[in-house]
Amino acid sequence: MAMQFETILYEQENAIAWITLNRPSQLNAFSGNMREELLHALLDAQEDAKVASIVITGAGRAFCAGGDVKHMARLKSEQAGFEKLRPLLDQGRRVVTVIHECPKPVIAMVNGVAAGAGCNLALACDLRVAGERAIFTQSFIKVGLHPDWGGSYFLPRLIGQGRALEMMLTGKKVEAEEALEIGLVHQVVPSSHLKEATQRMAKRLAAAPATAARLIKMAVHGSLDNDLVGMLEFECEAQRQCWESSESSERIAAFDKKRRPAFEQKFRNG
């Protein structure tokens, strides 16, 4: 199945939705209705019962170069007020909120530069697989702007306050191997194997029990703003939901009988 958009590509392969930012000549910088289309694609994938995991990537040699600086320069030349910029921020906020709250795992396949809002789009995803030529940069400071798209939330939680301040205050470029070392990405692979490695991870996530996966994602996010007592209560309620699901019944039986769960068999053969 393929959905038609102007600035992105949407494809479903088995239980995986592939969302590709598709402005390669502009390094997939956000412009026009691209933010809105990305949001719609994410919502479509979230609501599609046939989709179990989601991958976001970029066409060509970049993941996403962030906001369109030429558009910003035009707004400045027109002496436009902040009200002209605010709708773009609101759209970005909606995108990262949908990813953060999505009950399905979302992977960023970072094939090249991820700058500014593009970097923070990758950070908003649950997992990040990077090609060897991937570069991450909080480039906002270079144009006198503040990080948006949730960067001030995600980055310190991933790499700590000190490293986050260094990236944001200097605009430092972090290449793939350093990104792996500091915990910014989960895996670095040769560029020629990037899609294969990402697909392997997406398949593994898609084959996971949906109820447990959704609640694990909620638990990890919620733990950052909760205490032990609160998390123990959440775990108890989550365990109840998992125990009462058909998924746990099938998987416990499969584990006991030393066979693959039915859904995994179907997925692997799909």
Is residue 38 located within the same domain as residue 140? yes
Looking at residue 268, what is its pLDDT?
46
Is residue 183 located within the same domain as residue 224? no
Is residue 144 located within the same domain as residue 218? no
| Mean pLDDT score across all residues of the chain | 92
With a pLDDT cut of 70, the percent of the chain lying above it is 96
Is residue 115 located within the same domain as residue 193? yes
Is residue 73 located within the same domain as residue 194? yes
d(CA 38, CA 158): 24
3-state secondary structure 204-260: HHHCCCHHHHHHHHHHHHHHCCCCHHHHHHHHHHHHHHHHCCHHHHHHHHHHHHCCC
Residue 229: how many other CB atoms lie within 10 Å: 8
Residue 105: enclosing H or E segment and its boundaries?
none
Query: Is the model more confident about 74 or about 97?
Result: 97
d(CA 105, CA 205): 7
Is residue 238 located within the same domain as residue 185? no
Looking at residue 252, what is its pLDDT?
86
User: At 47, which CATH number?
Assistant: 3.90.226.10
Is residue 253 located within the same domain as residue 140? no
Q: What's the pTM? A: 0.91
Looking at residue 204, what is its pLDDT?
93
Structural domain of residue 175, as residue ranges? Answer: 2-206
Q: In what order do the strands lie in the sheet with 113-115?
A: 62-64, 113-115, 135-137, 173-175
**End of a domain among 206, 224, 250?**
206
User: Where does the pLDDT of residue 264 fall: very low under 50, low under 70, confident under 90, or very high at 90 and above?
Assistant: low
d(CA 100, CA 23): 24
The answer to whether the Cα torsion of 183, 12, 90, 21 is positive or negative is positive
User: Where does the pLDDT of residue 269 fall: very low under 50, low under 70, confident under 90, or very high at 90 and above?
Assistant: very low
What is the rounded average pLDDT of the residues 25-35?
93
d(CA 83, CA 75): 11
Which among 235, 211, 213, 241 is positioned nearest to 223, based on CA atoms? 235
d(CA 106, CA 128): 9
**End of a domain among 176, 206, 236?**
206
What is the rounded average pLDDT of the residues 114-125?
97
Contacts of 180 (CB under 8 A, 6+ apart): 130, 186, 187, 188
Query: Taking 70 as the threshold, does the pLDDT of residue 231 lie above it?
Result: yes
What is the rounded average pLDDT of the residues 215-222?
94
Is residue 109 located within the same domain as residue 234? no
Contacts of 258 (CB under 8 A, 6+ apart): none
User: At 259, which CATH number?
Assistant: 1.10.12
Is residue 71 located within the same domain as residue 199? yes
Is residue 10 located within the same domain as residue 37? yes
User: Where does the pLDDT of residue 173 fall: very low under 50, low under 70, confident under 90, or very high at 90 and above?
Assistant: very high
What is the rounded average pLDDT of the residues 10-26?
95
**End of a domain among 181, 206, 231?**
206
Is residue 261 located within the same domain as residue 152? no
Please give the structure tokens belonging to residue 161. Answer: 């306050």
Is residue 120 located within the same domain as residue 196? yes
Beta bridge partners, 16, equal: 13, 53
Q: How many domains does the chain have?
A: 2
